[in-house]
Amino acid sequence: MTLKELFSMQADLNKLKSLSMELANLEEFNPYRNNVITDMPKGGQGKDVTAWYIEEKERLRGKIKTYEEKLRRDRAKVEAFIAAAPHPESEIIRYRVINDLSWDDIGAIVGYSRSWVSKVFYRYIKKTEKTESSLDSRARV
C-alpha cells in the first residue's frame, strides 16, 4: 500500500467533514432574514429559493453518501494492511492514518521519540511498496 493510498482515507474524511459542515450551514439558511418590509414594490425578479434549497441539499447528501461509502472501502483496505504489519509498525500506522495523531503524540503513546516513530513508519511503507512492486513485475512476466 502506498502513502497516497494510506492518506486518501484522511483526505476523504476531511472532505466528508467539510460537506457535513456545508450541509449544516445550508440547513440554517433563511432567505427571509435580511428582507426589509416597506410599502414600496420590489419588482418581479424573485428567485425560487425553495427549489434551489432542495436541489442543493440533495446534491450535498449525495456527495456525503458517496464519501461515506468510499471511506468504508478505504478503511477496510487500511485495516487489512495494518493487520499484516508487525507489532510496532501496526500501532504507529493505526495512530497516524486512522486516528490522525501527530508524530509527537504517537511517540508519547508508544514510548519513543517523534523522529523514531516517523522513521519506522516511512521505512515500513517504503519496504512494502518495494515488495508490492517486485511482486507486480513478477506477475507481468
The 10s digit of each residue's pLDDT in 51-93 is: 888 899 999 999 999 999 999 999 999 999 999 999 899 999 9
> What gap in Å lies between CA 134 and CA 81, rounded to an integer?
17
**The pLDDT of residue 53:** 85
Does the structure show a pLDDT above 80 at 32?
Answer: no
pLDDT at residue number 2: 82
Q: What integer pLDDT is reported at residue 7 of this predicted model?
A: 84
Say what the pLDDT of residue 130 is.
84
pLDDT, residue 85, reads 93
63's CB contacts (< 8 A; 6+ apart) are: 19
What does the pLDDT average to over 109-123? Answer: 95
Q: Is the pLDDT of residue 100 over 70?
A: yes
For residue 3, pLDDT over 80 is answered with yes
Secondary structure of the chain: what % helix, strand, coil (to 5)?
75, 0, 25
Average pLDDT, the chain: 85
Q: What percent of the chain has pLDDT over 70?
A: 81
86-141 CATH fold: Arc Repressor Mutant, subunit A (1.10.10)
What is the pLDDT at residue 9?
Answer: 85
Dist. CA 58–CA 65, nearest whole Å: 10
Cα 140 → chain centroid = 33
Q: Looking at residue 57, what DSSP letter applies?
A: H
Rg (CA), the chain: 24
